[in-house]
Amino acid sequence: MRPSVAKDVWQTYLKDVPGPRIMLGVRPRDDVTETSTKYPSHAQITACVCLNPEDAFDYVLKSLWGSFSARPGPWTTSILVVRRLHEAPDSPCTSVEMIYAQMDPAPSFWTRPRQIHLSSRRHYLEKTTKRWLLVLDNVERWEHIDMFTPSKTSATTGSILITTRHQHFTAPSRPVNYYRKTLGELTVNEGADLLLHGLPAELQPKSRIAREGPEMKVVNDIAELAGLPLAIIIITGYMKSMNFRPSEFWTCWDSWWLANQPDLKAEEKSSNKGRLEQIMKLSVEDLGDETLSVMRIMAFLSSDGTQKDLLTWDQPPSECQYLRGFRINEILRDLTTKRFISLKKENGNEVYVIHRALQSRLLVELHKEPERWQELFRVAFQLVRNKLPRPSLDTAEPHKWNQFKEYLPHVAHLQRAYADPTTVIAAVPFVGLAELFKDGGVLLWQRFLSQDAMRLLITAERILDQLEAEHEDLRAEIHVTMNLLLQYLGISRRNESSERFLKILEYRKKRMQAAEAAGSVTDAEAMALITAKADYANSLLQFNKFCEAEQLYINCHESLLQVRGDKEEALSFAKLNHHMAYCKMYHGDFDEANAFSKKAVELIGSWACILLQSGDKAGALDLHERILSERLQVHGKESYFTLQSQYAGAVMYSYLDRWDDAEWQLRDALRQNNNSRSKNLWPDAVVARAKYHLSQVLAAKGEEKHVEEAEALAKEAKDVLSRLLVHNPIRWIQEEDTGALFDHLQPVFGSRWTGLSLLKYVQ
């Protein structure tokens, strides 16, 4: 976004509109502008964060600076810049946390646990009385930014500025203060200014100030030819490397064009894409083989920045000697001088940024050389593998996260290059790549980025499917992580989850048999088998197969005694007691169920469900209220677990005929879910049950004004029930116990037992 346009955009929509607003700027192409890391400072601005100074926000910020100077009163807080959110996980929660940290909210806000993540950050934006601006650059789809924006911007003291290359992009619901402006190409004068700004004094026209003379005419012709900031920047880099004045470049361009593009169609000559591609082709031809190889390797990596130490390989194979420290320094310096990449500093480290359009062009050209594509993809893989630490599935490793977050974006880009459906290259699978994607999936799961984690894990699994060897250990780790993700996706993935648990159990049995044959059984191996049995038993319990599950739990308990001894306080025993309590509840033995629950007292939510099934409604309500209070402190309002506790409390109120309390809790939970920016906060099955229960509460209140609403809620909920029940049907449920069907859709250790009707059908 260039200065005049940014200033025009910003001042236009600030001019007559007090209060919150959303501004959408459309960029019909991918471009960059001249960079600067010197941002304006002002007492009115408490923080200014730009995740990538390479892109257009230097001009945005400079333009905003003019607006701040003109309107110093209301603006007292931060500029937040989050760029390229469509390239998840390039901008994961940690980047957003870094931005919010600059805003210096109340200390108590930051002392809460990390599980709060984005929901509490958005809550802060919704509640703060300070003014704020959130800039979202180059957005592809609204759902990519939904999680970052407040639920109702018009009710806050802030504003949002969005840029996109897609003409049809829009907000899902148009607020009153919503403005849109389409940005065109650079004008000739703006392009000429940008071109001259990038040239050293000895190459600039002497008549620059007067803007007259033949050299300035050539400058204007070049600016008109390029049109886009990226093209102009590449031209200036080429001119500097060749020591060309504008007229010399123009002569070179004419001769090169005639020699290389005799058959180019007229419309391609005049299009942005055609001009940009030809300018890139001219500039790249001047690069040496090793320099071009480094730039092609960077095309496989994150465009937000490639660390210099990532590109440095201390002991590379003979064909990659150009990646040694002394050579890579020369190559990066050459690429920076020619403006193909730009340098930025992050925490004292050198990071090199390459533009997305240039990356795309390099990969398209590389498709013409399939063997070279495979070779350089492997090099890019090995560079990332050299730096990315291997995660643990058993324990969190916060001390490694700084390394994880630096190199994880490159894993995501490698996955996209490997799995790109539009590429003509059939990427060769290999086990190291599957392991890298598995590690990336584990790391993203640990950071609560479930969709991105699942994409990497599924790709890793597909790679293993194409290899001859089984690699059962790697498959087992993928199954474990996938099941940790699937457990929140509802009844439609219940069968898949159970099948994965069975495969893990079979793998662990084979490992144990091999260890027994070798006489090398360890406690760790024995515990892994016990865990696999218990997990598979849990999956059986999801299908109400409590007799089979109970036998497995008993077997686990016996094995655990052999490994741990009689240490009933251990967490492993507590979990088994928790599971056995459910089995006793299925049998109708509530005395035993309560006894087991008390042994697993730290798993208090399950005890509340068992108390309810035994008839102690008041006791169950007391426990659920305590759980809700704790979850509000730990997770905040916008959390799956908090909403589950709200629903459970509402159900308890309805059992005690406290209809107003039940209605308020249900409506509030549904409202929080609707306003949430977190994907899959409440699955369809949970939403349907809450709506059905609300319809029952409204019907029980008997108020005429709620009759139509109750009927509509019940119909909507039953439509979802019909769609989901086919995944795991249950028979013999009577019409008056329809609520039991909604309970059956829920996880067995989740909230299945907040109803009173299901148990009698499955005992």
Task: Name residues whose C-beta falls within 8 Å of residue 501's C-beta, 6 or more positions apart in sequence.
Answer: 479, 483, 532, 535, 536, 538, 539
Cβ-contact 401, 443 below 8 angstroms: no
Average of per-residue pLDDT values in the chain: 73
Per-residue exposure over 388-397, b if at least 16 CB sit within 10 Å of its own CB, e if not: beebeeeeee
pLDDT band at residue 604 under the 50/70/90 scheme:
low
pLDDT band at residue 558 under the 50/70/90 scheme:
confident
User: Quick one: pLDDT at residue 99?
Assistant: 44
Query: In the sheet where 341-346 sits, what is the strand order?
Result: 306-307, 349-354, 341-346
Q: What is the mean pLDDT of residues 607-632?
A: 68
Using a 10 angstrom Cβ sphere, with 0-12 exposed, 13-18 middle and 19 or more buried, the burial of residue 545 is middle
57, 160: one domain: yes
Q: What is the dihedral sign for C-alpha 420, 422, 423, 426?
A: positive
34, 117: one domain: yes
CATH code, domain carrying 508: 1.25.40
Q: Which of 169, 156, 151, 82 is nearest to 681 (CA)?
A: 151
Give per-residue pLDDT as tens, 459-505: 999 999 888 887 888 888 888 888 888 877 778 888 888 889 899 88
User: Quick one: pLDDT at residue 261?
Assistant: 63
Q: Looking at the predicted structure, is the pLDDT value of residue 450 above 60?
A: yes
20, 138: one domain: yes
% of the chain beyond a pLDDT of 70: 71
H or E, element range at 155: none
Torsion, Cα 594 596 599 604, to 10 degrees, reads -60
150, 224: one domain: no
Q: What is the mean pLDDT of residues 727-747?
A: 77
For residue 403, what are its two tokens? 């390394």
262, 225: one domain: yes
728, 635: one domain: yes
H or E, element range at 136: strand 132-137
Q: What is the mean pLDDT of residues 29-45?
A: 30
Q: Looking at the predicted structure, is the pLDDT value of residue 2 above 50?
A: no
Least trusted range by pLDDT, from 216-230, 525-539, 717-731: 216-230
Residue 118: strand, helix, or coil: helix
Q: What is the mean pLDDT of residues 428-445?
A: 89
User: Quick one: pLDDT at residue 570?
Assistant: 54
Q: Is residue 348 part of a domain?
A: no
User: Quick one: pLDDT at residue 276?
Assistant: 66
Between 134 and 302, the higher pLDDT residue: 302
User: Quick one: pLDDT at residue 433?
Assistant: 92
pLDDT band at residue 78 under the 50/70/90 scheme:
very low
Q: Pick the last residue of a domain from 284, 305, 338.
A: 284
User: Quick one: pLDDT at residue 679?
Assistant: 47
Backbone angles phi, psi at 438, to 5 degrees: -65, -45
CATH code, domain carrying 112: 3.40.50
Q: Looking at the predicted structure, is the pLDDT value of residue 49 above 80?
A: no
| Domain with 28 in it | 3-182
Task: Name residues whose C-beta falls within 8 Å of residue 406's C-beta, 6 or more positions apart in sequence.
Answer: 307, 387
Give per-residue pLDDT as tens, 645-668: 788 888 888 888 888 888 888 888
pTM across the whole model? 0.65
User: Quick one: pLDDT at residue 414?
Assistant: 92
Q: What is the mean pLDDT of residues 42-46?
A: 26
86, 192: one domain: no
The half-sphere exposure of 348 on its side-chain side, counting CA atoms within 13 A, is 0
Q: Looking at the predicted structure, is the pLDDT value of residue 38 above 70?
A: no
Q: What is the mean pLDDT of residues 241-256?
A: 76
Q: What is the mean pLDDT of residues 340-355?
A: 85
Q: Pick the last residue of a domain from 221, 256, 284.
A: 284
643, 755: one domain: yes
Q: Looking at the predicted structure, is the pLDDT value of residue 559 above 90?
A: no
Q: Is residue 9 part of a domain?
A: yes
pLDDT band at residue 25 under the 50/70/90 scheme:
very low
User: Quick one: pLDDT at residue 102?
Assistant: 42
Q: What is the mean pLDDT of residues 234-260?
A: 75
Q: Looking at the predicted structure, is the pLDDT value of residue 112 above 50?
A: no
% of the chain beyond a pLDDT of 90: 6
Q: Looking at the predicted structure, is the pLDDT value of residue 147 above 90?
A: no
Between 699 and 231, the higher pLDDT residue: 699
Q: Which of 405, 384, 402 is nearest to 311 (CA)?
A: 384
Tokens 């305590």 found at: 626
Least trusted range by pLDDT, from 120-134, 358-372, 449-463: 120-134
Q: Is residue 608 part of a domain?
A: no
Give per-residue pLDDT as tens, 357-409: 788 888 888 888 889 999 999 999 999 999 988 888 777 677 777 778 888 88
Partners of 25 in the β-ladder: 163, 181
User: Quick one: pLDDT at residue 597?
Assistant: 66
Amino acid in position 420: D
Q: Is residue 101 part of a domain?
A: yes
Q: Is residue 16 part of a domain?
A: yes
Between 49 and 537, the higher pLDDT residue: 537
Give per-residue pLDDT as tens, 579-593: 888 888 888 878 777
39, 103: one domain: yes
Q: Is residue 38 part of a domain?
A: yes
Cβ-contact 258, 278 below 8 angstroms: no
Q: Which of 388, 384, 365, 368 is nearest to 296 (CA)?
A: 365
149, 29: one domain: yes
Q: Pick the last residue of a domain from 584, 602, 620.
A: 602
Backbone angles phi, psi at 23, to 5 degrees: -120, 130
Q: What is the mean pLDDT of residues 116-135?
A: 70
176, 193: one domain: no
User: Quick one: pLDDT at residue 654?
Assistant: 83
Least trusted range by pLDDT, from 269-273, 552-556, 758-762: 269-273
Torsion, Cα 250 256 261 265, to 10 degrees, reads 0
Give per-residue pLDDT as tens, 302-330: 888 889 999 999 888 988 888 988 888 88
User: Quick one: pLDDT at residue 29?
Assistant: 38
Name the range with the highest mean pLDDT among 210-214, 260-264, 277-281: 277-281
161, 34: one domain: yes
Residue 518: strand, helix, or coil: helix
Name the range with the highest mean pLDDT among 129-138, 219-228, 373-382, 543-552: 373-382
Q: Is residue 520 part of a domain?
A: yes
Q: Looking at the predicted structure, is the pLDDT value of residue 57 above 70?
A: no
Rounded (5°) CA angle 338-339-344: 125
* DSSP code of residue 88: T
Name the range with the highest mean pLDDT among 37-46, 207-216, 409-418, 620-629: 409-418
Could you give the number of structural domains in the chain? Answer: 4
Alpha carbon distance 70, 17 (integer Å): 15
> Can you list the positions of beta strands (E) in 255-400?
306-307, 341-346, 349-354
Q: Is residue 758 part of a domain?
A: yes
pLDDT band at residue 30 under the 50/70/90 scheme:
very low
